[in-house]
Amino acid sequence: MGTTASQLGKDLLSEYQELTFLTKQEILLAHKRFTELLSKEERSHPNPSVPIDTLLTLPELKSNPFRNRICRVFSSSESKDSLTFEDFLDLLSAFSDSATLEIKSHYAFSIFDFDEDGTLDEVDLEKLVNCLTGETDETRLTPQEMRQLIKNILEESDIDKDGTVNLSEFQHVISRSPDFVSSFKIVL
């Protein structure tokens, strides 16, 4: 099921409204911004998709250290290099104001799982902390600090002591932090 890039049908619009957490105006705005990213020929395709590199030019994603991971997680294509409009709506819905804690924590887990093996192990955690602290030498943690930090994180969150954080352990940690919902938001 696709959509010609010129305009959304009414039925499709209401279907999107029911199945995502977005309002009608947000869906229309998303459609407009998505269409702008397409080239002229692609707009007439039935189910156009935007390559990830083009999507990353959006100002909302441009400077985000997790931008590549976000796009990969929501991509439904085989090679994970492009997003359709519905993938884009999924992305915005997960990051919207009204999305539930469960959905957000589910997708946050997927985004932080850099090696895509279903759990957060030490390598994932290290990459996560490096994304958070940035590129410069001053802000990066020293190797000892990193080891200490990862050890503390695993102590606090790894309940079954298997050396990794799985989805339910992650969601348990997140549920104790009320600000997660307000900070895990992207608005177009």
Partner 1 sequence: MPSRNIDSGRQQQQLVSHLRRLPVRERVCLLRAMPLNLALKIELSSLYVHIVGTWRLLLGALAFLSSVRLWRTQLKLLAGRFGTPVLSYFLFLRMLVLLNLLLFLVNGLFLVLPRALDPLAAGDNSSLLHTHSVLHLLTGGGYVAHSVMFYGYYGNTLSGWSCGPAEHEPEANVSAPLNIAGQPVCGPQVVAPVSYNTSLSYLFTVTSGLFITSIILVYSISQYFGRRFCVFPSHGKLAGNVFCSWDFKVTKEMSVQRQSENISTQLKEQLSEGMCCERGPGFVRERRRLLRARLSAWAACLASVFLSGLAVYHLADHMHDQGVMASVEADLLGESRLLALPTVVSTITLFLPGLFHLVSRVERYDSPLVATYVSIVRNLLLKVGLLGVLCYHWLWRIPSEPERYGLQCWETFVGQELYRLVLVDFFCTLVNAFVGESLWRLFSNRVLKRRRRPTFDVSRHALELVYGQTLTWLGVFFAPLLPVVQLIKLLLLFYVKKTGLTLTCEAPRRPWRASQMTAVFTALLLCPSLLGAAACLTYTVWTVKPSSACGPFRRSPTPLEGQKLLLWQTVDTGADPKLGLFLSAS
Residues 91-130 binding partner 1 (CB under 8 A) are 93-95, 100-103, 106-110, 112-113, 116-118, 125, 128-129
- Is residue 59 within the footprint of partner 1 (CB under 8 A)? yes
- Closest approach of partner 1 to the CB of residue 6, in Å: 20
Q: Which residue has the tokens 């799982």?
A: 113
User: CB 113 → partner 1: shortest distance, Å?
Assistant: 6
Q: Is residue 162 within the footprint of partner 1 (CB under 8 A)?
A: no
CB of 1 to partner 1, least distance (A): 6
Number of residues that bind partner 1 (CB under 8 A): 78
Residue 165 neighbours by CB distance under 10 Å = 25
Among 63, 79, 143, 161, contact with partner 1 (rule: CB under 8 A): 63
Radius of gyration of the chain (CA): 18
Residue 36 tokens read as: 């702008």
98 contacts: CB under 8 Å, gap ≥ 6 = 21
Q: Considering only residues 130-149, where is the footprint of partner 1 by CB under 8 A?
A: 132-134, 136, 138-141, 145, 148-149
Which one, 37 or 173, has the nearer CB to partner 1? 173
Indicate whether 18 belongs to the interface with partner 1 (CB under 8 A): yes
Q: Considering the rule CB under 8 A, would residue 86 count as an interface residue with partner 1?
A: yes
Q: Which is nearer to partner 1, 40 or 183 (CB)?
A: 183
Closest CA to 90 of 106, 79, 78: 106
The span from the CA of 104 to the CA of 51, in Å, is 24
Nearest distance from residue 42's CB to partner 1, in Å?
Answer: 18
Instruction: Give me 52's structure tokens.
Output: 């990830």
What CA–CA distance (Å, rounded) separates 35 from 15? 19
Query: In 3D, which of 55, 61, 122, 116 has the Cα closest to residue 87?
Result: 55
d(Cα 164, Cα 157) in Å, to the nearest integer?
A: 9
Q: Is 34 an interacting residue with respect to partner 1 (CB under 8 A)?
A: no
Confirm or reject binding of residue 56 to partner 1 (CB under 8 A). no
